[in-house]
Amino acid sequence: MLSLVALLAVIGIVLWAGLQAHPPEPPEDSLRIPWWVLAMAFAATEVWVFHIQVGRESKSISISEIPFMLAFFYSLPEDLLIARVVGPALVILLYRRQTLLKSGFNMALIFADTTVALLVFRVIGGGSTADGAREWTGAVLACVAAMAVDLIVLSIVIRWYDGKPPVSGVRSLASGLGLAAASALIGLVPLVTLRGGAEHAAVPLIASGVMLMFGYRAYASLSDRHSSLEQLFSFSRELSVAPETDDVLPSVLAQARELLRGERAEVLRFGDPAVTVWRFDGTQVSTLDADLANDCGEAARALLQETDAVLVRGDDSAGRHYLRLSGADEAVLAPLSYDGQTVGAIAVHDRLGEVRGFSASDVQLLQTIASHASVALHNEMLIGRLRHDALHDTLTGLPNRAQLTAKANLALADLRMGAGTMALMIMDLNGFKVVNDTLGHHVGDDLLRQVASRLTSAAPRGVTVARLGGDEFAVLMTAQATEKPEEIALGLLESLEETFVVEEERLHLSGAAGIALAPDHGRSVSDLLKRADIAMYAAKNGAEPCVVYRSDIDLNDASLLSLMGELREAISAGEVDIEVEPLIDLSRNRIVSTEALVRWHHPVRGTLRPSLFLPLAERNGLIVPLTTLVLDRAVAACASWREAGLDIGISVNLSARSLLDTMLPQTVADALDRWGLPSNRLTLEITETIVLSDADRALGLLADLRRLGVRLSLDDFGTGYSSLTHLSELPIQQLKIDRSFVSQVQDSPRDRAIVGAVADLARNLDLEVVAEGIEKASTAALLHDLGCQVGQGHFFAESMAPELLPLWVQTRDPGWTPSGPPRGHLLRVVR
Ligand code: C2E
Ligand code: CA
Ligand code: CA
């Protein structure tokens, strides 16, 4: 900066010296303006400055042309120079109180531009102060030259500070010079009046008026474009941080309207077959009526054929047609493209309250907005679809468990506000499994779709039918439903009585339903579903097709004792067994391990899931024999697969109670010995609660297990309380991210972030990361991207009998064949 000041000063001095070498004749006119009057005039122009907006700063330029013009003709060059430096110096130092450096810079600049102006006047004007076209031209050009020096030096300085060229440097230079010329022409007015009579003054006056007008317009559009650019940047920043919110569309509309200063903005989506048009008029977003939207869409498409954004002014029939349909006089239209396809358009109609209509730069601006918005809008539409998937069952299109839970929660909230009743029902189809097994899955799927449509048409108002999975449906009945829950349930069951026809097979179905009422049977959705499930099992095993929950059918109550007694016998009678669920290496898409899940094949109640009887077993000390049994079956299964050439691992779940069992390491060692399985093929899954309950003891036992060579895994990670840092203290080799995160990972950015962070941390701790409960291919892919190496869930397979696993592997991966003698044995079991 200092060197620039010095440079300017040197330029000024050199030029001044050059001028002094050939001094001009003194002004012959009797009128001679003393230097101090000029100084005051220059001081005045310095106070009254003209601001231009460049970058983030506003720069001011003084319009000193009028005193300049007079001084050329009515004063000595040295008076002009002194006045030109002293006048502004007083203002800068006393009135503006600028810093020393800034004052120095401004003074040097003024010094330099004055000497340049004098030089130009001398060279072009010929050094005389006589009147005539040559002198006047010289004077005007001298003023322009001074302004050019100012602007060029200023833009160099700004470039230095901002590290980038000032916005449209050339345009701002042009408009600044135009302005200087215009004010110089104004300065000519008193001159011409003084010398040639008032009538001649009209010429420079009109000329300067015209130039000022153009100058203003150029400046106005320049500053417009500049603030538009800034807004555009913040707009795209906004879109990039919030690409998943519902307000992408309103934000695009508002920004397009504001940036182009239009009366209205519209987003058109060229759907197939219908076009949707959202319109924003400054107060609200509305959609156009379907017919009009289609017509507008067609007209817009015609205008956008193979072009980028266009300015529609109605000078051809296509343009007029579009303007008539959209009720506008003028419009800018830009295509929204995605993957090279035009998927819609953005339009802005009629410039707001300005004489100036849209210009080419508005077209360019809308094009830019459109390309930023395309991606964001596309994402939103994609997310809309994912959201639909997340809330609906893919097979039947019915609401799924997530949506049912959300709706039930809303109903529960209403209930708490004192509004009406609410009931949940679970319904299971009798005989569906037989259909599926004998006639095949496609018949089963078709049947489920028919069941779904019968149930939805039979459901009265205020009733939501959802599919929970398999042949299990749930029904939410809210206060709006006029009939009693049992009546509704019976109506739904009745709708299934009529024969179904699937691929020419006539099929008969019936259902069993259980109902739980809020708030009597529970205040949370999960409690209500649990109780409805219990009631449904009672219905299956009883004479009534529909049972409302009662405490006497609940295992927690009356039949609890008997079931506990039964469990003890069931373990010894072989009713308790395991099923296995495959664990898949997500990068190679191959099975690497399995998880053993306990099942109780109850002679009356059917196959019972662990959630039903594990709590009993834990309370009753039965967990030790149960774990022993599961371990034995699991190790046996794993050893037999290994013998068949399928060398994979198996995981066994441990209850918190099991870790209080000091005999556990021995039990594990015995099982491994008995079946001859290498210990590293066995993984034991523990949960965080284990560690919390009796940390020292549990940690000691875990260390013993590790010494045996078995692997340890932390199950259901994310549901407990332990922090991530806690992980490093556990002797584990694997981490299983809980299903609740996995199921939401696609539409919850929060869950995605958690899964990503957990996977990162686990990698740092050298832990294998397993994602459980994967139900969709897209989830599996995303989890792999997030860093999970292994996955399991219904997308890959539901749990199956261990003997079925080799066959499952073979169907999935025909390259693998069981080898060795046990092959025949395995296939025999399967058959
Ligand atoms: P877990 O260890 O988290 O096991 C996974 C559970 O999620 C299993 O339910 C499995 O069938 C189910 N599952 C797997 N993939 C999916 C999926 O994609 N979607 C859905 N919705 N569910 C999926 P299951 O067999 O009912 O087991 C429930 C829990 O019971 C297990 O949760 C585990 O904590 C416990 N458990 C199971 N077997 C044993 C055992 O032998 N001993 C002990 N102590 N606990 C066991
Ligand atoms: Ca588990
Ligand atoms: Ca789990």
Q: Is the dihedral of CA 643, 644, 647, 650 positive or negative?
A: negative
Please give the Cα distance from 552 to 460 (Å, whole number): 30
- Counting atoms of ligand 1 from 1, which one is nearest the CA of 772? 15
Whose alpha carbon is nearest atom 38 of ligand 1?
597
Of the candidates 594, 577, 590, the residue with the CA atom closest to the CA atom of residue 682 = 594
Q: Is the dihedral of CA 434, 439, 441, 442 positive or negative?
A: negative
Whose alpha carbon is nearest atom 17 of ligand 1?
773
Instruction: Report the residue count for the chain.
Output: 831
pLDDT tens by residue, 674-685: 999 999 999 999
CA distances from 673 to 9, 361, 639, 660, 679 (A): 97, 81, 11, 23, 9
HSE-CB at 183 with a 13 A cutoff on CA atoms is: 24
Alpha-helix residue ranges (DSSP H) falling in 165-201: 169-196
pLDDT tens by residue, 36-52: 888 888 888 777 766 55
pLDDT (0 to 100) of residue 174: 72
Per the prediction, the chain carries an average pLDDT of 81
Please give the Cα distance from 314 to 742 (Å, whole number): 54
pLDDT greater at residue 564 or residue 50: 564
Query: What pairs with residue 769 in β-bridges?
Result: 735
Identity of residue 569: E
CA distances from 772 to 218, 422, 755 (A): 64, 33, 12
Please give the Cα distance from 370 to 375 (Å, whole number): 9
User: Residue 743 C-alpha to ligand 3 middle, in angstroms?
Assistant: 13
pLDDT greater at residue 429 or residue 615: 429
**Ligand 1 pocket mutation pick from 529, 533, 597 by most atoms within 8 angstroms of CB:** 597
HSE-CB at 272 with a 13 A cutoff on CA atoms is: 2
- Counting atoms of ligand 1 from 1, which one is nearest the CA of 658? 44
Mean pLDDT of 9-14: 86
At 776, is the secondary structure helix, strand, or coil?
A: coil
Ligand (nearest to CA of 597): 1
Whose alpha carbon is nearest atom 23 of ligand 1?
773
Burial of 11: CB neighbours in 10 Å, binned 0-12, 13-18, 19+: middle
769 — pLDDT class (breaks 50, 70, 90): very high
Both tokens assigned to 698: 């549990």
User: Residue 719 C-alpha to ligand 3 middle, in angstroms?
Assistant: 10
CB distance 46 to ligand 1 below 6 Å: no
574: left (phi over 0), alpha (psi -120 to 50) or beta: left
CB distance 791 to ligand 1 below 6 Å: no
- Counting atoms of ligand 1 from 1, which one is nearest the CA of 578? 41
Both tokens assigned to 240: 């990039």
What is the percentage of the chain residues whose pLDDT exceeds 90?
29
Whose alpha carbon is nearest atom 43 of ligand 1?
653
CB distance 614 to ligand 1 below 6 Å: yes
pLDDT (0 to 100) of residue 23: 67
Strands (E), 30-85: 49-54, 57-62
718: left (phi over 0), alpha (psi -120 to 50) or beta: left
**Ligand 1 pocket mutation pick from 393, 598, 653, 661 by most atoms within 8 angstroms of CB:** 653
Please give the Cα distance from 97 to 115 (Å, whole number): 25
Ligand (nearest to CA of 736): 3
61 — pLDDT class (breaks 50, 70, 90): low
What is the percentage of the chain residues whose pLDDT exceeds 70?
79
Whose alpha carbon is nearest atom 21 of ligand 1?
773
Both tokens assigned to 160: 């230095």
Mean pLDDT of 19-33: 68
CB distance 611 to ligand 1 below 6 Å: yes
- Counting atoms of ligand 1 from 1, which one is nearest the CA of 774? 18
Whose alpha carbon is nearest atom 11 of ligand 1?
799
For the ranges 18-27, 115-124, 659-668, 785-794, which has the lowest average pLDDT? 18-27
pLDDT tens by residue, 704-722: 999 999 999 999 887 654 4
Whose alpha carbon is nearest atom 20 of ligand 1?
773
Of the candidates 475, 386, 387, 362, the residue with the CA atom closest to the CA atom of residue 427 = 475
pLDDT tens by residue, 190-200: 777 776 666 66
pLDDT tens by residue, 511-525: 899 999 988 888 889
Q: Is the pLDDT of residue 766 over 70?
A: yes
Whose alpha carbon is nearest atom 22 of ligand 1?
773
pLDDT tens by residue, 495-508: 998 888 888 878 88
- Counting atoms of ligand 1 from 1, which one is nearest the CA of 469? 21
669 — pLDDT class (breaks 50, 70, 90): very high
User: How many C-beta neighbours within 10 Å does residue 445 have?
Assistant: 14
Whose alpha carbon is nearest atom 7 of ligand 1?
773
For the ranges 63-72, 162-171, 635-644, which has the lowest average pLDDT? 162-171
Mean pLDDT of 533-556: 79
pLDDT (0 to 100) of residue 585: 96
List CB-based neighbours of ion ligand 3 within 5 Å.
Answer: 715-716, 772
CB distance 630 to ligand 1 below 6 Å: yes
- Counting atoms of ligand 1 from 1, which one is nearest the CA of 795? 18
Please give the Cα distance from 528 to 825 (Å, whole number): 45
Mean pLDDT of 8-27: 77
Angle at 703 between CA 702 and CA 709, to 5 degrees: 95
Burial of 542: CB neighbours in 10 Å, binned 0-12, 13-18, 19+: exposed
